[in-house]
Amino acid sequence: MVTMDYLSTLTQHFKQLYSNLMPIPCLLCGSGSSDDGLCQACSAQLPIIKHACPRCASPLSQTMLCGSCLNKPPEQDASFSLFRYQPPIDRLILDLKYHDKLVLSRLFATHMVEQLKNRVLPQLLIPIPLHPRRLRERGYNQSLELAKQLSKQLAIPVRHDILMRIRDTPPQASLPFTERKKNMKQAFQLNKTKFPDHIALIDDVLTTGHTVNVAAKTLRQAGVENIEVWTIARTVKHDHSH
């Protein structure tokens, strides 16, 4: 009798065989790649942030608090962003966000974990939520997909039913820099629950920080002591076009 375990092993075997014979083309250069969307050569060229402000993750020439955080620190206690938001990362994030390239969530999570594993890790991951209407339009929340991959690789639970988007705000990228803060007012609501002391909010890109600031403030009011923000990419301070 054929067992489910046997079928599962067989499926994995065929998948492996298929990926060896027919590798998925790299999303950047089109050559044969591994199963996570990019070939090794393109992965090695990605614009990793080497030094940044530990509070807001702005890329700097050395690791230190930036002037903005010294003058007016954001709500979160720490931030981590892996890449500068520039080509080809901007294109890959758009692919993840709007073009169903969910394989990229694993690639980005794997790269992030390499840098994150030496930190004191949070007890819970919370993805920045989409409004239900936008979620229906898009079919998935890229921040949740990323959080699930990080959860798997770091063995930290993820909850997407705690922080709710209650206002269907226009996308931040579509608004002038000066209006983004106003756009996010009262955008989030918490489901009542007991929170751990240390949480990381997960999103794709950190730009002005208004979205995560409002989310972090909502968690802070619920008594969360230590809040981090983890994103795939960070815009450089003078570039607020995203």
Q: How confident is the model at residue 42 (pLDDT cuts 50, 70, 90)?
A: very high
- Tokens of residue 107, six digits: 């690639």
- Tokens of residue 44, six digits: 């090695």
In CATH, the number for domain 51-234 is: 3.40.50.2020
Distance in angstroms (rounded) separating the CA atoms of residues 33 and 37: 6
Query: Strand, coil or helix: what is 109?
Result: helix
**What would the mean pLDDT of 150-154 be, rounded to a whole number?**
97
pLDDT score recorded for residue 37: 85
- The phi and psi torsions of 22 (rounded to 5 degrees) equal -125, 75
Q: Is the dihedral of CA 115, 121, 124, 130 positive or negative?
A: negative
Q: Which long-range contacts (CB under 8 A, 24 or more apart) does 136-139 make?
A: 138/97, 138/98, 139/100
What pLDDT digit, counting tens, does each position of 48-92 carry?
999 999 999 999 999 999 999 999 999 999 999 999 999 999 999
**Per-domain boundaries in the chain:** 1-45, 51-234
pLDDT score recorded for residue 35: 66
What pLDDT digit, counting tens, does each position of 24-39 carry?
789 999 887 766 789 8
Q: Is the dihedral of CA 146, 152, 154, 159 positive or negative?
A: positive
Across all residues in the chain, what is the average pLDDT? 86
pLDDT score recorded for residue 240: 38
pLDDT score recorded for residue 242: 33
